[in-house]
Amino acid sequence: MRLVFFASGEFAVPTLRRLAAGDDEVALVITQPAREGGRGRKPIPTPVRTWADDLKLPVLEAENVNAAEAVARLRELRAFLGVVVAFGQKLGPELLGAFPAGCINLHASLLPKYRGAAPINWAIVRGEERTGVTVFRLTQRMDAGPILTSRWTLIKPEETAGELHDRLAGVGVDAMLGALELFADGVIPAGTPQDDSQATVAPKLSKRDGWVRFDRPAMEIIRHICGMTPWPGAAARFEAADGRWEQVALVRARPAETPDAPTGDPGSIDARRYVAAADRYLELLELKPSSGRTMTWQDYVNGRHVQAGDRFQPPD
C-alpha cells in the first residue's frame, strides 16, 4: 500500500520507523519546517525530519500543507492513504480528497475522551487510571472521526507525562499496524462512530497551567506535578525562612507515608521535609531548579539546607 506520512513530533517516530521497515511504501513524509531554537537560534528540524533523512525517505517541509502546490504534489503521488501522527496542522477537505482511502490519525487517548492538543497531560491531571491510543478516520471535526483501532494501558503511579508519552508512542505502533491491516486488498473501512456524549476536551497547555498551588488536596497536586512534566513544567517558588528564594519545577511527588493532617500552612515544609497540602502531606521526589538539572529532593534538601519552616509558593 502506498502511503503519505504526515508527522512532526517525537511521538510519531516509532510509527515512522516501523512503517519504513514494513511492506507498505512511504511515498513521502510531510513535516513542519525547521524552527529556530537553542542558544545559537539555528534552524532545528523536527524529530520526524531527522529520522526520515536517516531512513532515506523523501521529505517535504510544508509551512501550509493545504496550499495548492502541496495538494497538487500529493495528487501526483497517487498514494492510497494518508497517515497522520503528531503533525501540527489541520488537513483541509481538498487535501483529504487527494487520497482514495482518505487519511487516518493516531491520537494519544482513548477517544472520545481527551480530544485536543494535550491528552496525555490531562489524563494524568484528572486522575485517570488508564489511557491509551486510538487510530481514527480523519474528518473536519477535531479528533471526532470514526474509530478504527485502539489500545489501552494503565497509568503507573508517579508516572510523568513525558514517560507516559514515550510508552504510548510505542503502543501506537501496534494500533497503527492493526488499522492498516483493515485497508488490505484495497478495502476502505468505515470505522465505528464515536459517542459524542462521552467526549471530553484536552486543551493546549500554557506555562501558567503549570503553576502549582498547595491549597488543594495532596492527590490533586501530585497528579498536577506529574501531568505537567516535562512541559509546561510544574512551576513553584521555593522560599527559605532566611529570605533565600528561587524558581523551581517540581518533577515528581507522591503521598507522604503518614496520613496526618498538616499543622502548617499549605506549601510549608515540616521537620520530615514533607510539604503540606490542604488535607495531608506530600513527599517530593524530584525537582529541577531554574538554573540546573533535575535532582532528587534529598539532594536539593542537602544542597539548599532546606529546613522546617521553609515553604513553596506559586510563582510570581
The model's pLDDT over 20-63, given as tens digits with 9 standing for 90+, comes to: 999 999 999 999 999 887 677 789 999 999 999 999 999 999 99
Provide CATH 3.10.25.10 ranges for the chain. Answer: 207-313
> pLDDT band at residue 313, thresholds of 50, 70 and 90?
very high
Mean pLDDT of all residues in 2-11: 98
Binning pLDDT at 50, 70 and 90, where does residue 109 land? very high
Single-letter amino acid code for the residue at 280: R
Q: What's the pLDDT score for residue 42?
A: 85
With vertex at residue 108, the alpha carbon angle to CA 235 and CA 224, rounded to the nearest 5 degrees, is: 25
What's the CATH number of domain 2-198, 3.40.605.10, 3.40.50.1460, 3.40.50.300, 3.40.50.170?
A: 3.40.50.170
Average pLDDT across the chain, whole number: 96
User: What are the C-alpha distances in Å from 84 to residues 5, 106, 183?
Assistant: 6, 6, 15
pLDDT per residue over 265-288, tens digit each?
A: 999 999 999 999 999 999 999 999
Sign of CA dihedral 7, 12, 13, 18: negative
Query: What is the rounded distance in angstroms from the CA atom of residue 103 to the CA atom of residue 148?
Result: 12
CA distance 21 to 54: 13
pLDDT at 316: 77
Task: Check residue 87 and give its pLDDT.
Answer: 97
As annotated, the residues of the chain forming the CATH 3.40.50.170 domain(s) are 2-198
pLDDT at 233: 97
pLDDT of residue 191: 98
Q: State the Cα–Cα distance between residues 75 and 69, nearest whole angstrom.
A: 10
Across 164-190, b (16+ Cβ under 10 Å) vs e yields bbebbbebbbebbbebbebbeeeeebe
User: Could you tell me which CATH class the domain 207-313 is placed in?
Assistant: alpha beta
User: What pLDDT sits at residue 259?
Assistant: 86
Task: Specify the pLDDT at position 140.
Answer: 94
Tell me the whole-structure pTM to 2 decimals. 0.95
- Residue 41: per-residue pLDDT: 76
Please report, for residues 119, 156, 208, 262, 315, the alpha-carbon distance to residue 213 in angstroms, rounded to integers and kept in the order given: 22, 23, 11, 15, 9
| Residues forming a β-bridge with 131 | 153
Overall average pLDDT of the 189-208 stretch: 97
pLDDT tens for 231-247 read 999 999 999 999 999 99
**Least confident range of 66-70, 189-193, 259-263, 308-312:** 259-263
Neighbour tally for 299: CB within 10 Å? 12
In this predicted model, what pLDDT tens digit does every residue of 127-161 receive, in sequence order?
999 999 999 999 999 999 999 999 999 999 999 99
Is residue 112's pLDDT more than 80?
Answer: yes
φ, ψ at 120 (rounded to 5°): -70, -45
d(CA 152, CA 144): 18
